[in-house]
Amino acid sequence: MAGKKDKDNLPVHVKVEGENEGTITYANEVVAIIAGVATNEVEGIAGMCTVGGISDILGRNKNITRGVKVEIGSEEASIDLYIIVEYGTPIQKAASDVQENVRKAVESMTGLKVVRVDVHVQGVSFEKENKETQQGLAAASASGAIASGEKQEANAPRNAEERMTDIDSDAEKSDSEKKSKADEAAEAASDAEEPEEPTEPEEPIEPEEPIKPEEPIKPEEPKE
């Protein structure tokens, strides 16, 4: 295993023609870094993962060569990429953009001809969607708190006026009760000072006159 890893990282010699001929050497890791950065620049790519599976998902700029497998010949290179896409991303478009971006980056930076870029979609990430949901809930909560605060501020003057009205009403009621009690006390004192008038004796009841008996009716005299 160690021998294979060392073999993959052998330097690559690229012949440069010119007045002073020489060679430029690339380690496999250099091409892997270029390919990894170019992959993560594409919209909709959540990250890279290990070649064996999706259990070890690597975010952007974290061990950028993980999830990238490079094979280099004398002047050619082939690249395998193991990616995780964000939920909702058109996968075919994202994979095509990755292939094009990686090919351009490697060829322009190294001069190697990229013969193939194989993209292996290993999974879908819901992290972005969850973040957007949490942000939406946080924004809604903040908006509700602001609206509640504005409502309380708007009701504050009204509540103050209501409290002043209640205080005035209580004061008027108290004054009215005090005045009523004072009037009752004054009336009681006035009644105590005035002497009661003597009551006149009742007149004796006169006896009723006896009823006279009715006179007997005389019989009519006979006619002659």
Q: Mapping DSSP to helix (H, G, I), strand (E, B) and coil, where does residue 153 land?
A: helix
On whether the CB atoms of residues 42 and 102 are closer than 8 A, the answer is: no
- Residue written as tokens 């690597």? 58
Structure tokens at 171: 């004061």
For range 131-149, the mean pLDDT: 69
Tell me, what amino acid is at 123?
G
Q: Mapping DSSP to helix (H, G, I), strand (E, B) and coil, where does residue 201 land?
A: coil
Which candidate, 170, 39, 161, places its Cα nearest to that of 98? 39
Mean pLDDT of the chain, nearest integer: 75
Which candidate, 205, 57, 38, 161, places its Cα nearest to that of 107? 38
CB atoms within 10 A of CB 128: 14
Tens digit of pLDDT for each residue in 161-213? 677 777 777 777 777 777 777 777 777 766 665 555 666 666 666 666 666 66
Report the pLDDT value the prediction gives residue 146, as an integer from 0 to 100. Answer: 76
Report the predicted TM-score, pTM, of the whole model to 2 decimal places: 0.51
Report the pLDDT value the prediction gives residue 156, as an integer from 0 to 100. Answer: 61
Percentage of residues in the chain having pLDDT higher than 70: 57
- Split at pLDDT 50, 70, 90, the class of 50 is confident
Report the pLDDT value the prediction gives residue 151, as an integer from 0 to 100. Answer: 66
On whether the CB atoms of residues 190 and 183 are closer than 8 A, the answer is: no
